[in-house]
Chain A
Protein backbone atom coordinates (compact mmCIF):
# COMPACT_ATOMS: atom_id res chain seq x y z
CA UNK A 1 0.00 0.00 0.00
CA UNK A 2 2.80 2.37 0.90
CA UNK A 3 4.54 1.44 -2.34
CA UNK A 4 1.43 2.20 -4.40
CA UNK A 5 0.96 5.48 -2.55
CA UNK A 6 4.56 6.50 -3.27
CA UNK A 7 4.14 5.65 -6.95
CA UNK A 8 0.98 7.71 -7.18
CA UNK A 9 2.65 10.63 -5.45
CA UNK A 10 5.55 10.44 -7.90
CA UNK A 11 3.21 10.38 -10.87
CA UNK A 12 1.23 13.35 -9.60
CA UNK A 13 4.42 15.24 -8.88
CA UNK A 14 5.73 14.67 -12.38
CA UNK A 15 2.44 15.77 -13.90
CA UNK A 16 2.49 18.96 -11.88
CA UNK A 17 6.09 19.63 -12.86
CA UNK A 18 5.20 19.08 -16.47
CA UNK A 19 2.38 21.55 -16.29
CA UNK A 20 4.61 24.07 -14.61
CA UNK A 21 7.52 23.54 -16.95
CA UNK A 22 5.53 23.42 -20.19
CA UNK A 23 4.52 27.07 -20.20
CA UNK A 24 8.04 27.99 -19.14
CA UNK A 25 9.43 25.99 -22.02
CA UNK A 26 6.99 27.57 -24.45
CA UNK A 27 8.02 31.02 -23.26
CA UNK A 28 11.63 30.03 -23.70
CA UNK A 29 10.99 29.10 -27.37
CA UNK A 30 9.36 32.43 -28.09
CA UNK A 31 12.17 34.42 -26.50
CA UNK A 32 15.08 32.64 -28.21
CA UNK A 33 16.22 32.11 -31.75
CA UNK A 34 18.41 29.29 -32.90
CA UNK A 35 21.08 30.18 -35.38
CA UNK A 36 23.33 28.16 -37.61
CA UNK A 37 26.27 30.25 -38.76
CA UNK A 38 28.68 28.93 -41.36
CA UNK A 39 31.99 30.36 -42.43
CA UNK A 40 32.97 29.33 -45.96
CA UNK A 41 36.28 30.09 -47.62
CA UNK A 42 35.71 30.57 -51.33
CA UNK A 43 38.82 30.33 -53.46
CA UNK A 44 39.91 30.19 -57.05
CA UNK A 45 43.07 28.28 -56.19
CA UNK A 46 41.51 24.83 -56.04
CA UNK A 47 38.32 22.91 -56.67
CA UNK A 48 37.87 21.31 -53.29
CA UNK A 49 34.32 21.49 -52.03
CA UNK A 50 33.28 20.45 -48.54
CA UNK A 51 30.60 17.74 -48.71
CA UNK A 52 28.03 19.90 -46.92
CA UNK A 53 28.46 22.68 -49.46
CA UNK A 54 28.07 20.79 -52.73
CA UNK A 55 24.66 22.21 -53.55
CA UNK A 56 25.66 25.73 -52.51
CA UNK A 57 28.88 25.47 -54.49
CA UNK A 58 26.89 24.72 -57.62
CA UNK A 59 24.78 27.82 -57.07
CA UNK A 60 27.72 30.09 -56.27
CA UNK A 61 29.86 28.89 -59.17
CA UNK A 62 27.19 30.03 -61.58
CA UNK A 63 27.38 33.61 -60.34
CA UNK A 64 30.93 33.98 -59.10
CA UNK A 65 34.28 32.77 -60.30
CA UNK A 66 35.23 30.78 -57.24
CA UNK A 67 35.90 27.08 -57.70
CA UNK A 68 36.69 25.82 -54.24
CA UNK A 69 34.42 26.11 -51.20
CA UNK A 70 35.63 24.94 -47.82
CA UNK A 71 33.63 24.92 -44.63
CA UNK A 72 35.93 26.59 -42.08
CA UNK A 73 33.49 27.32 -39.30
CA UNK A 74 30.14 26.05 -38.09
CA UNK A 75 28.26 27.29 -35.03
CA UNK A 76 24.80 26.30 -33.94
CA UNK A 77 23.44 28.10 -30.90
CA UNK A 78 20.29 29.27 -29.26
CA UNK A 79 20.31 32.99 -28.58
CA UNK A 80 17.93 34.97 -26.41
CA UNK A 81 16.32 38.03 -27.90
CA UNK A 82 18.48 41.15 -27.68
CA UNK A 83 21.50 39.04 -26.77
CA UNK A 84 24.44 38.86 -29.14
CA UNK A 85 26.04 35.78 -30.62
CA UNK A 86 29.64 36.44 -31.61
CA UNK A 87 31.33 34.07 -34.01
CA UNK A 88 35.01 34.37 -34.79
CA UNK A 89 35.71 33.51 -38.38
CA UNK A 90 39.00 33.25 -40.23
CA UNK A 91 41.52 36.02 -40.93
CA UNK A 92 40.36 38.11 -37.94
CA UNK A 93 36.85 38.39 -39.28
CA UNK A 94 34.05 38.33 -36.75
CA UNK A 95 30.31 38.25 -37.19
CA UNK A 96 27.88 39.33 -34.48
CA UNK A 97 24.20 38.46 -34.61
CA UNK A 98 21.57 39.95 -32.32
CA UNK A 99 17.98 38.70 -32.70
CA UNK A 100 15.56 41.44 -31.86
CA UNK A 101 12.19 39.79 -32.25
CA UNK A 102 10.41 36.87 -33.72
CA UNK A 103 6.87 36.70 -34.90
CA UNK A 104 5.42 33.70 -36.63
CA UNK A 105 8.16 32.68 -39.05
CA UNK A 106 9.85 36.06 -39.31
CA UNK A 107 12.98 36.85 -37.35
CA UNK A 108 14.29 40.37 -37.06
CA UNK A 109 18.00 40.57 -36.35
CA UNK A 110 21.05 42.80 -36.47
CA UNK A 111 24.13 41.43 -38.23
CA UNK A 112 27.53 43.09 -37.83
CA UNK A 113 30.69 42.12 -39.63
CA UNK A 114 34.06 43.11 -38.29
CA UNK A 115 37.47 42.80 -39.81
CA UNK A 116 39.99 42.84 -37.03
CA UNK A 117 38.82 45.48 -34.61
CA UNK A 118 37.11 47.47 -37.32
CA UNK A 119 33.39 47.24 -37.90
CA UNK A 120 32.67 47.28 -41.61
CA UNK A 121 28.99 46.43 -41.93
CA UNK A 122 25.86 46.65 -39.78
CA UNK A 123 22.54 45.53 -41.17
CA UNK A 124 19.09 45.27 -39.59
CA UNK A 125 16.85 42.93 -41.47
CA UNK A 126 13.99 40.50 -41.14
CA UNK A 127 14.45 37.05 -42.55
CA UNK A 128 12.37 33.95 -42.75
CA UNK A 129 12.88 31.19 -40.24
CA UNK A 130 14.74 28.29 -41.76
CA UNK A 131 16.00 30.32 -44.71
CA UNK A 132 19.66 31.20 -45.21
CA UNK A 133 21.04 34.64 -45.87
CA UNK A 134 24.54 35.12 -47.26
CA UNK A 135 27.10 37.80 -46.55
CA UNK A 136 30.57 37.98 -48.03
CA UNK A 137 33.81 39.87 -47.56
CA UNK A 138 37.05 39.77 -49.47
CA UNK A 139 40.07 38.32 -47.75
CA UNK A 140 43.61 39.56 -48.19
CA UNK A 141 44.82 36.62 -50.25
CA UNK A 142 42.19 36.91 -52.93
CA UNK A 143 39.85 34.44 -51.34
CA UNK A 144 36.48 35.44 -50.00
CA UNK A 145 34.75 34.67 -46.74
CA UNK A 146 31.10 33.76 -47.23
CA UNK A 147 28.96 33.84 -44.12
CA UNK A 148 25.73 31.85 -44.18
CA UNK A 149 23.24 32.69 -41.44
CA UNK A 150 20.13 30.58 -40.87
CA UNK A 151 17.70 31.52 -38.09
CA UNK A 152 15.17 29.08 -36.76
Chain B
Protein backbone atom coordinates (compact mmCIF):
# COMPACT_ATOMS: atom_id res chain seq x y z
CA UNK B 1 0.00 0.00 0.00
CA UNK B 2 1.01 3.51 -0.66
CA UNK B 3 1.93 5.89 2.05
CA UNK B 4 -1.34 7.80 1.48
CA UNK B 5 -3.39 4.66 1.89
CA UNK B 6 -1.52 3.80 5.06
CA UNK B 7 -2.13 7.28 6.42
CA UNK B 8 -5.79 7.04 5.70
CA UNK B 9 -6.07 3.61 7.24
CA UNK B 10 -4.17 4.77 10.32
CA UNK B 11 -6.31 7.87 10.59
CA UNK B 12 -9.47 5.81 10.19
CA UNK B 13 -8.31 3.35 12.84
CA UNK B 14 -7.53 6.20 15.20
CA UNK B 15 -10.44 8.63 14.62
CA UNK B 16 -13.03 6.62 12.81
CA UNK B 17 -14.98 7.97 9.86
CA UNK B 18 -15.69 11.24 11.64
CA UNK B 19 -12.02 12.04 11.57
CA UNK B 20 -11.71 11.73 7.80
CA UNK B 21 -12.28 14.45 5.30
CA UNK B 22 -14.74 13.77 2.47
CA UNK B 23 -11.83 13.17 0.08
CA UNK B 24 -10.24 10.76 2.51
CA UNK B 25 -13.53 8.93 2.90
CA UNK B 26 -13.74 8.51 -0.85
CA UNK B 27 -10.19 7.23 -0.94
CA UNK B 28 -10.93 4.82 1.89
CA UNK B 29 -14.02 3.56 0.13
CA UNK B 30 -12.08 2.96 -3.04
CA UNK B 31 -9.36 1.24 -1.08
CA UNK B 32 -11.77 -1.08 0.71
CA UNK B 33 -13.56 -1.92 -2.53
CA UNK B 34 -10.35 -2.72 -4.28
CA UNK B 35 -8.72 -4.52 -1.39
CA UNK B 36 -11.11 -7.05 0.21
CA UNK B 37 -8.32 -8.23 2.48
CA UNK B 38 -8.02 -4.76 3.94
CA UNK B 39 -11.76 -4.58 4.38
CA UNK B 40 -11.76 -7.85 6.19
CA UNK B 41 -9.02 -6.58 8.49
CA UNK B 42 -11.06 -3.48 9.34
CA UNK B 43 -14.38 -5.22 9.85
CA UNK B 44 -14.08 -5.65 13.62
CA UNK B 45 -13.40 -1.95 14.02
CA UNK B 46 -16.55 -0.87 12.22
CA UNK B 47 -19.32 0.16 14.58
CA UNK B 48 -22.31 -2.05 14.39
CA UNK B 49 -25.72 -0.46 14.07
CA UNK B 50 -28.34 -1.05 16.73
CA UNK B 51 -29.58 -4.57 16.22
CA UNK B 52 -33.14 -3.66 16.57
CA UNK B 53 -32.83 -0.74 14.20
CA UNK B 54 -30.94 -2.92 11.77
CA UNK B 55 -33.63 -5.56 11.99
CA UNK B 56 -36.31 -2.98 11.46
CA UNK B 57 -34.54 -1.44 8.51
CA UNK B 58 -34.00 -4.82 6.96
CA UNK B 59 -37.58 -5.96 7.47
CA UNK B 60 -39.00 -4.29 4.40
CA UNK B 61 -42.34 -5.95 4.84
CA UNK B 62 -42.85 -4.16 8.18
CA UNK B 63 -42.41 -0.68 6.80
CA UNK B 64 -45.59 1.19 5.86
CA UNK B 65 -46.54 0.94 2.27
CA UNK B 66 -46.68 3.95 0.01
CA UNK B 67 -50.46 3.94 0.21
CA UNK B 68 -50.30 3.96 3.98
CA UNK B 69 -47.85 6.86 3.92
CA UNK B 70 -50.14 8.80 1.59
CA UNK B 71 -53.04 8.13 3.88
CA UNK B 72 -51.08 9.52 6.78
CA UNK B 73 -50.10 12.65 4.85
CA UNK B 74 -53.70 13.14 3.76
CA UNK B 75 -54.81 13.01 7.36
CA UNK B 76 -52.12 15.45 8.36
CA UNK B 77 -53.33 17.94 5.74
CA UNK B 78 -56.92 17.38 6.76
CA UNK B 79 -56.07 17.92 10.39
CA UNK B 80 -54.25 21.13 9.57
CA UNK B 81 -57.28 22.61 7.75
CA UNK B 82 -59.42 25.02 9.84
CA UNK B 83 -62.61 23.38 11.09
CA UNK B 84 -65.74 25.45 11.50
CA UNK B 85 -66.51 25.31 15.19
CA UNK B 86 -69.88 26.29 16.48
CA UNK B 87 -68.36 29.43 17.94
CA UNK B 88 -66.78 30.56 14.69
CA UNK B 89 -69.97 29.79 12.77
CA UNK B 90 -71.93 31.99 15.14
CA UNK B 91 -69.38 34.77 14.75
CA UNK B 92 -69.59 34.57 10.95
CA UNK B 93 -73.38 34.66 11.14
CA UNK B 94 -73.24 37.67 13.44
CA UNK B 95 -70.89 39.48 11.08
CA UNK B 96 -73.48 39.15 8.33
CA UNK B 97 -76.60 39.76 10.38
CA UNK B 98 -75.41 42.60 12.60
CA UNK B 99 -75.42 45.32 9.93
CA UNK B 100 -78.72 44.04 8.57
CA UNK B 101 -80.24 44.01 12.05
CA UNK B 102 -78.92 47.48 12.74
CA UNK B 103 -80.39 48.81 9.50
CA UNK B 104 -83.73 47.16 10.19
CA UNK B 105 -83.84 48.60 13.71
CA UNK B 106 -83.12 52.08 12.35
CA UNK B 107 -85.86 51.72 9.76
CA UNK B 108 -88.38 50.57 12.35
CA UNK B 109 -87.50 53.49 14.61
CA UNK B 110 -87.89 56.00 11.80
CA UNK B 111 -91.23 54.53 10.77
CA UNK B 112 -92.48 54.56 14.35
CA UNK B 113 -91.51 58.17 14.79
CA UNK B 114 -93.00 59.24 11.52
CA UNK B 115 -96.18 57.24 11.62
CA UNK B 116 -96.35 56.33 15.27
CA UNK B 117 -99.69 57.94 15.63
CA UNK B 118 -101.11 60.00 18.38
CA UNK B 119 -99.41 61.32 21.40
CA UNK B 120 -99.53 59.45 24.62
CA UNK B 121 -102.87 60.00 26.28
CA UNK B 122 -104.87 60.48 23.11
CA UNK B 123 -107.05 57.51 23.98
CA UNK B 124 -107.66 58.71 27.50
CA UNK B 125 -110.75 60.72 28.33
CA UNK B 126 -109.76 64.37 28.51
CA UNK B 127 -111.40 66.17 31.41
CA UNK B 128 -113.86 68.78 30.22
CA UNK B 129 -112.50 72.21 30.93
CA UNK B 130 -114.93 74.94 29.99
CA UNK B 131 -113.87 78.52 29.63
CA UNK B 132 -110.64 80.00 28.47
CA UNK B 133 -110.43 82.55 25.71
CA UNK B 134 -112.84 82.04 22.84
CA UNK B 135 -113.07 84.52 20.00
CA UNK B 136 -115.67 84.17 17.27
CA UNK B 137 -114.48 85.51 13.92
CA UNK B 138 -117.46 84.54 11.79
CA UNK B 139 -120.76 82.78 12.37
CA UNK B 140 -123.36 81.75 9.82
CA UNK B 141 -126.64 79.90 10.01
CA UNK B 142 -128.47 78.30 7.12
CA UNK B 143 -132.09 77.84 6.16
CA UNK B 144 -134.41 78.75 8.98
CA UNK B 145 -131.82 78.14 11.67
CA UNK B 146 -130.54 80.76 14.00
CA UNK B 147 -128.12 80.74 16.84
CA UNK B 148 -128.04 81.79 20.44
CA UNK B 149 -124.99 82.19 22.62
CA UNK B 150 -126.14 81.18 26.02
CA UNK B 151 -123.69 82.60 28.48
CA UNK B 152 -123.19 80.39 31.45
CA UNK B 153 -121.68 82.93 33.74
CA UNK B 154 -119.75 81.77 36.71
CA UNK B 155 -122.07 78.90 37.57
CA UNK B 156 -122.46 77.26 34.18
CA UNK B 157 -120.87 77.03 30.76
CA UNK B 158 -121.29 79.06 27.61
CA UNK B 159 -123.13 77.17 24.87
CA UNK B 160 -123.64 78.17 21.25
CA UNK B 161 -127.13 76.96 20.61
CA UNK B 162 -128.50 76.29 17.13
CA UNK B 163 -132.17 76.95 16.98
CA UNK B 164 -134.42 75.93 14.15
CA UNK B 165 -137.77 77.45 13.65
CA UNK B 166 -140.58 74.95 13.71
CA UNK B 167 -142.28 74.85 10.36
A24, A38, A76, A120: the one contacting B113 at CB < 8 Å is: A24
In contact, A13 and B142 (Cβ under 8 angstroms): no
Q: How far is the CB of B139 from chain A (nearest CB, A)?
A: 5
In contact, A2 and B143 (Cβ under 8 angstroms): no
Q: With a CB–CB cut-off of 8 A, which chain A residues contact B143?
A: 118, 120
- Counting residue pairs across A and B whose Cβ atoms lie within 8 Å, the total is 179
What is the interface size of chain B, counting residues whose CB is below 8 A from a CB of the partner?
52
| 8 Å CB interface, B122-153 against A | 122-123, 125-126, 128-143, 145, 147, 150, 152-153
Report, as a range, how many residues of chain A touch the other chain.
35 or more
Would A122 and B139 be within 8 Å (CB), given that A10-B105, A138-B163 are in contact?
Answer: yes
In contact, A152 and B160 (Cβ under 8 angstroms): no
In contact, A121 and B141 (Cβ under 8 angstroms): yes
* 9-residue interface stretch from B6-14, B34-42, B49-57, B93-101: B93-101
In contact, A63 and B155 (Cβ under 8 angstroms): yes
Distance between Cα atoms of A10 and B105 in the complex (Å): 8
Beta-carbon contacts of B79-120 to A below 8 Å, as 1s and 0s? 000000000000100110011011101100110011001110
Distance between Cα atoms of A28 and B157 in the complex (Å): 32
SS class of chain B's interface: helix, strand, loop or mixed?
mixed
Distance between Cα atoms of A16 and B103 in the complex (Å): 12
Q: Which residue of A lies closest to B113 (CB)?
A: A21
Counting chain A CB atoms within 10 Å of each CB, the highest count among B126, B135, B143 belongs to B126
Distance between Cα atoms of A55 and B145 in the complex (Å): 30
Q: Is B74 an interface residue (CB 8 A)?
A: no
Q: With a CB–CB cut-off of 8 A, which chain B residues contact A13?
A: 102-103, 105-106
In contact, B94 and A3 (Cβ under 8 angstroms): yes
Distance between Cα atoms of A152 and B121 in the complex (Å): 11
Supplied contacts A2-B94, A120-B162, 9 more A-B pairs, CB within 8 Å? A2-B98, A21-B113, A25-B114, A34-B119, A53-B128, A123-B136, A123-B160, A126-B133, A134-B158
